[in-house]
Amino acid sequence: MRFFSDTAAGLRIAFRALVSNKLRAALTTLGIVIGVTTVILMITIILGLNRAVEGQFAFLGANTYYVSKWSWFERNWREQWMRPNMTPDMALRIKEESKLAMAATPLDDREMTVAFGAAQQTGVDVRGVSEDYLITNSVAIDFGRFLSAEDVRRNQPVAVIGAGIAERLFDKVQPIGQKISIAGWKFRVIGVAERVGSFFGQSMDYFVCIPYGTHMKRFGFDPRQNSTTIIVKAASAADMEDLKWELKGLMRRIRKLSPTEPDDFGINDQSLIMGAYNDLTSGIYTGGVIIAFISLLVGGIGIMNIMLVSVTERTAEIGLRKALGAKRWMVSWQFLVESAIICAMGGLVGVGFAWGVSLAINEFLPTYMPIWVVGIGIIFSAVVGVFFGLFPSIKAANMPPIEALRHE
């Protein structure tokens, strides 16, 4: 392009004008800065959530169904409340009668205090499960072993502890073989699970697994949950759909439902969580888009105002340029570039702000800011600059050269 160097000159002029009017430029671009900060923050939060979520629902186990009294994310609470409770022995029947399930375990869990000597940890998720939990939830064992079928059958007071518990309670001592107390009852530690990490800022390593029979006997049902969940794992992903129908039939048989009665249980899986998650993020998206749109509108109007002032201030310059042979589009091009540059700078500052804020947010919400977001922020705000610079630049382009030249 033959006007590249003029563009470069335009950039220089715009930049100098900005520097000599620091406060004005700062105030003008504030709206853009806020708008871009919002946009970028939304993007980084969504990206961060997506990254955190990616594969993270694996803690629910891959290819698994959660058969429960409750149907997740359905709102018929009253109807669900009236459903009969589920019991751990249903897991055994499912395991016996299902052809597609490779493992099935009951799950009763309650938050309790776990102690070893003087050290203690409150709010530990104590799970009553069978030996199949190792398979359904892909538990990896670091030391010792998981619950055996024998432990479960005989309701042994043994426990497999999460890496977080091991760290918290066993500072110097080897945990295997030690006696820990859960809500006052003694359990022997037989295994330590590998570190899982955290999910949404919450550590996934503060849990204890004990045989479900022992859990029932010592702690009963969690009054909030009041029903056992049964985790069933398919042999392969391809079997998932068939397994769902098989489980439905099995459960209806167990519950002795007539063909006209609706299901009084839920067969839940990760996709339900993903569905709810997508609803949540689309909410964030929509909110973010609206906020960003409003602040960019406000910012854009600010830019338009300042560009109109700039056009008026430089009437003589516009006249001179026209006298020297600048066509309309050349004049408007100069002001568009200037407006785009001012906005792009605001965008850059906004990206910087967003970066700082996303670091702060990262303490409690996962955020992720890839480098292309910087480009998006700058280009986006430059586009706003061009859009809102359009009217002032046309005004400049339409100035009659004599009027403009006469202006002092």
- What are the residues binding another protein (CB under 8 A)? 2-3, 5-6, 9, 13, 16, 316-317, 320-328, 330, 400-402, 405, 408
CA distance 234 to 241: 9
Closer residue to another protein, CB minimum distance, 4 or 372: 4
Closer residue to another protein, CB minimum distance, 3 or 185: 3
CB of 340 vs another protein, minimal distance in Å: 19
In order, the DSSP letters of 221-266 are --TTT-S-EEEEEESSGGGHHHHHHHHHHHHHHHHT--TTSPPSSE
CB of 316 vs another protein, minimal distance in Å: 7
Closer residue to another protein, CB minimum distance, 222 or 317: 317
Closer residue to another protein, CB minimum distance, 166 or 341: 341
CB of 10 vs another protein, minimal distance in Å: 11
CB of 288 vs another protein, minimal distance in Å: 40
CB of 3 vs another protein, minimal distance in Å: 7
- Kindly state the tokens that stand for 144: 């010792």
Long-range CB contacts (< 8 A, 24+ apart) of 144-147? Answer: 144/176, 144/189, 144/190, 144/191, 144/192, 145/190, 145/191, 146/190, 146/191, 146/209, 147/190, 147/191, 147/209, 147/210, 147/211
Closer residue to another protein, CB minimum distance, 220 or 400: 400
Closer residue to another protein, CB minimum distance, 24 or 328: 328
- For CA atoms 30, 36, 37, 38, give the dihedral sign: positive
In order of 49, 163, 209, 210, 310, the CA distances from 174 in angstroms are 37, 13, 18, 19, 74
CB of 24 vs another protein, minimal distance in Å: 17
